[in-house]
Amino acid sequence: MNIWKKEKIRVRIAPSPTGALHIGTARSALFNYLFAKKNKGSFILRIEDTDLERSDLKWTQDIIDGLKWLGIEWDEGPDIGGAFGPYKQTQRIESYTKYLEKLLGEDKAYFCFCSSKDLEEKRQEQMTRGAAPKYDGTCAHLSKETVKKNISEGRPSVIRFRMHEKKIKFKDLIRGEIEFDTGLMGDIVIAKDTKTPLYNFAVVVDDYEMQISHVIRGEDHIANTPKQMMLQDALSFKPPAYAHIPLILAPDRSKMSKRYGSVSISDYKNMGYLPEAVINFMALLGWNPGTEKEIFSLSQLEKEFSLDKVQKAGAVFNIQRLDFINGYYIREKSDKKVAELCLPYLMSAGLIDGNRKIKGGEEVSEKKLEKIIQAYKARLKKLSEIVELADFFFKEKLEYNMNKLKWGTMDYAQTIESLNYSEKILSEIDNWEQKILEEKLMGAATKFNLEKGYPEKNRGYLLWPLRVALSAKEASASPFEIADILGKEKTLQRINDAIEALA
């Protein structure tokens, strides 16, 4: 009988609530989540909130809300509990104290009383000598009595871990064999006191106690891994497997930062990116499916994702790609759904109020809104763009730029003539439907050119001034679509307004 039992896959993300959910953290969450799904494991959310000064509950909430918005679900976490809780570090202090005391008791860690001023001076001196700066061991061998005395006198101290000189080797699941020389590190500070652990220590205890099998995290943590492995060794903890995923880089290959674009998930949400697009985009930030395929739903990713297709090289953030993917998902949705999603943007731009009324009091029906979306869906790269593209549907009166109304060589008088011509044609149409409007206006455009001696095939002489009269924009949907949505009365009104502006 085979008694070998496969270890259960348990992965986690451990964000610090010191800011809004960062795209890098969200991508780590996604990769961990996908790895767990693919391997029928568990995905855990743990909040690393031991930095009391910088942590804030509002950021914990932002992280939770952001992940939920993306559709990334966790099996255990601070909001839902689980068998390995609590899932906030500030609630796990007892565990840290226990292991800190163990290390101190076994003389694997010690109290250090060096002041930051002394440390800085030593550091400078080492650097001047050309040596790698590391702790020089001043407090490494203080007698028990001295330590006791210093502590009872209330001298400020920290806890340092004895970092033996050793070559640490591990096989990173993405980067392959990695070797570090711990001799270069010096004795690291692992806690401010027995109740206040620092990151490298707390993470080791948590990953052990939560039985984390794989640590999948950003490459920026790679230098922490040997430190954590030394701590695991000192505490006789079995180390998890490690996979360091590539950094997200700005297009100039610098570290992705606010300078290049937004880094927080809530910003992308507010700009009108859809969660499924952000998920799809983030998956491709480092994971390469090995085909040309670019569109992946979360459930497809759950089946197809694998760590061995995660690249080593930095993942360049390309906003055009996100726009393209987002446009795809917008087009996939029904007009009704997109209208619903665009509504908040129209409202916050002040184009309609909570009762779907525009400034003059007219109500924009659901059907009308859907028609607007139908005319613009193909151009939308993000929902917020609806405001810029379609604002003229929600205004009583437009402001015209006289030069924009003209087409080609036309002067103002000729433009008025063209608008009058359209007005006449349109006022005679009773069956106000896009198809009929198109038929009549296309025919009229040719006739108009022949009558006025314009080049026959260039319909702009009739249709351009009309379209700008209806939209006040150089680029918009076709005049037929717009007229259909505006209705006969408003269409004729706008033509007259434009004529007035030109007169």
The residues assigned a catalytic role are: 258
Residue number with CB closer to ligand GLU (48 or 76) = 48
Residue number with CB closer to ligand GLU (22 or 382) = 22
CB 54 to ligand GLU: min, Å: 11
CB 24 to ligand GLU: min, Å: 8
The maximal CA–CA distance of the chain, rounded, in angstroms, is 109
Burial pattern 214-250, b for ≥16 Cβ within 10 A else e, equals bbbbbbebeeebbbbbbbbebbebebbbbbbbbbbbb
Distance CA 252, CA 317 (A): 10
Strands (E), 309-386: 315-316
Residue number with CB closer to ligand GLU (63 or 495) = 63
Taking a C-beta distance cutoff of 8 angstroms, is the pair 323, 189 a contact? Answer: no
- 3-state DSSP call for residue 38? helix
Residue with the closest Cβ to ligand GLU?
217
Distance CA 44, CA 47 (A): 10
CB 52 to ligand GLU: min, Å: 14
Residue number with CB closer to ligand GLU (15 or 77) = 15
Q: Which of 364, 284, 267 is nearest to 322 (CA)?
A: 284
CB 21 to ligand GLU: min, Å: 11
DSSP label at residue 77: B
Residue number with CB closer to ligand GLU (189 or 349) = 189
CB 368 to ligand GLU: min, Å: 47
CB 17 to ligand GLU: min, Å: 9
Pairing of strands 214-218, 176-181: unpaired
Distance CA 175, CA 222 (A): 10
How wide is the angle at C-alpha 388 spanned by C-alphas 351 and 413, nearest 5°? Answer: 95
Using CA atoms of 97, 102, 108, 114 in order, give the dihedral in degrees to the nearest 10: 30
Residue number with CB closer to ligand GLU (15 or 479) = 15
Residue position matching structure tokens 């702009």: 460
Residue number with CB closer to ligand GLU (199 or 287) = 199
Q: At 340, list the tokens.
A: 């619903």
Taking a C-beta distance cutoff of 8 angstroms, is the pair 29, 22 a contact? Answer: no
Distance CA 45, CA 64 (A): 9
CB 146 to ligand GLU: min, Å: 35
- 3-state DSSP call for residue 488? helix
Taking a C-beta distance cutoff of 8 angstroms, is the pair 210, 46 a contact? Answer: yes
Distance CA 215, CA 274 (A): 28
Distance CA 433, CA 74 (A): 51
Residue number with CB closer to ligand GLU (217 or 459) = 217
Taking a C-beta distance cutoff of 8 angstroms, is the pair 422, 464 a contact? Answer: no
CB 216 to ligand GLU: min, Å: 8
Q: Which helix (H) or strand (E) holds 160?
A: strand 158-161
Q: Which residues bind ligand GLU (CB under 6 A)?
A: 14-16, 48, 203, 217, 221
